[in-house]
Structures are given as C-alpha cells and as structure tokens.
Amino acid sequence: MLLDDMRFAILGSGAVGGYFGARLARAGHDVTFIARGAHRDAIRERGLEIRSAKLGDFLVRAPAESDTTVVGPVDVVIVAVKAYDNDTAFPLIPPLIGKATVVLTLQNGVDNVAQLAALVGQNRVLGGATYVATALQAPGLIEQTGVHRSIIFGEVFGTPGLTPRVQALADAMAPADIQVTAVPDARTPLWDKFVYLVPFSGFTGVARLPIGYIWRFPQIRDMFHAAAREVAAIAGAEGVALSPDRFERLDEYMTNIPASTRSSLLVDLEQGKRIEVEALQGAAIRRAAAHGVPVPIVSTLYSALKPWEAGNPRA
C-alpha cells in the first residue's frame, strides 16, 4: 500500500462517509463516492460541499458511482453505511477488492467486522470508531457541527499489533486534517464507543430529546451510567479490554457535551427513517444472553425502540 497514491472508495457517502471522503479528496487522494439517487447526481453535477462554521467550508469534485463494477479495485474501501443497510450494501464490495485491498468499517456497533470478514476474509478487514457530528442536509451538502473529526482504527483479527498497513493508512489520513489514531487492537475502541453509544442512542431515542434536556435529571444520569456498565460487562464476558479510563472519559464527555446534541438514532426517528436498534441495543442483548449477563436497562430501551425499527409504525 503506497502512501502517495492511495485509492479510496467510500461505501456510504452520507454524513460520515461523505465527510471523511471529502477530506481525503481535498488532500489529493483518489476518492470515488459510492452513492445513489439525488445525492449521487448532486456530487456529479456540483461536487460535494462541506459546511463547517468552526473549521471552514470547502467543496470537492470527485467521481460518484452507484455501480461498483465500473470503479474496479481500490486500495481502501471505507464502509460507512447504516448497519441496517448491510444486506444491500455489502454485495457492492467484491468488485472493489484487489490483491491488497483493505476494508475499513466505521459503522456503529460491534457486529459489522464479522459480517464483512464473512464476505471478504478476515485478513482484509480493519475496524474503526469515529467521533464526528455531521448531517446530510441536502443532496451534495454535508454540514458539520463542532470540531471533532476523529477516527480510531486498527486490526481486529489475529494477533494484536500495529501493522504496517494500519500505520500507512493512518499516515495517509493525517494530512487530510482527520484526527486519526492507529491502535494495535481495534476491539478496544469499538467497544469503548459501544459502551457509550448503546445508552446514548437509547435514552435520547426513547425520550425523543437531545441529551441536554434529559441529562439534568440525576436519576437519568445514574441509569445512563448503569446501562453503560451493563454493556461493559458484556465486553468483559467476551474478553475485550476497555480503555482503563473509559468511564472517567465518559463522565467528562457527557458533562461537557452540548445540550443540543442528538444521537443519529434520534435524528432518524425524527425523520421517520429506519433506526439502528438491532445493531445497537439488539446486538447488546443478544451478546448478553449468550454470556448470561443481565442487561435490564438496555433491554427496556430496546423494547421501547423496537416498534420504530422500520420507521414510524403509524405511518
């Protein structure tokens, strides 16, 4: 994998994938956005625009395709589709695979790496967690709030270690003004995020409110932390080591997060879209059951959100 001529395909070119793909394209990398419909057409006709009040606006022009067979093999496939689209999106990956292609998933949840490995092989899959607040405001337009734009990634399968391909990819991303951290074992950042995201998406989704409107209630804060510890217990049962300061950082983050912050699950709920309840709360429950770990709070959140999985059940 050569640092200076890395070719990327962004599978899922919406709020997250589109944002990071745009930064890579702006830095001079060969990027193809895999998109469809009006969003694909807008990228083709006008380019992909990023608006950020704090980091500045920019526009990139890069190919956008729906058919991956016309793209051909690339060096890196970045997967950023919602987990509920895996069944339709993952079949688009094989035409992008060459001899040394790696597939980096930035999706929510902890099941995606195994699903990708079943398709392309464990030796091709990297896992990553991302922290960024972006939204697809219109076809061809992504808006960023805040300044976080981090990706933490590494190997998932085999013996943990900071491999040359992980370091090369991190070195390629850093000049694109991505806050990138390469790690020897991606399971830790994946589960670090899962511990936070399952309760965050669950509580904001059930309440139908941004975090600031519910975080002021001490009982909710206590239940939030208890739910996070339920998920941490699952990680422990699976032999995954969380960061030693995970809960100190979680408390600090939740205390300082802007009151208007909404989970992506809440955004989808408000827009009547499908939600990632099975990739988040559902995955936690299934793994907990396999290990005999009690998760009463997460189970309650799941039960309240499950009827909305496919969108508004009253529509």
pLDDT digits (tens, 9 = 90+) for 10-42: 999 999 999 999 999 999 999 999 999 999 999
**Cβ neighbours for 268, distance < 8 A, ≥ 6 positions apart:** 82, 274, 275, 276
Low-confidence stretches of the chain (pLDDT beneath 50): 1-3
pLDDT at 2: 47
pLDDT at 24: 98
pLDDT at 4: 56
Q: Are strands 141-155 and 125-138 parallel, antiparallel or unpaired?
A: antiparallel
Residue 298 and residue 234: Cα distance in Å, rounded? 12
189-308 topology per CATH: N-(1-d-carboxylethyl)-l-norvaline Dehydrogenase; domain 2 (1.10.1040)
Question: Do 7-185 and 189-308 show the same overall fold?
Answer: no
Closest CA to 226 of 130, 129, 154, 296: 296
Domain boundaries, the chain: 7-185, 189-308
Q: pTM here?
A: 0.94
Domain 7-185, classified CATH 3.40.710.10, yes or no: no
**Cβ neighbours for 187, distance < 8 A, ≥ 6 positions apart:** 127, 156, 240
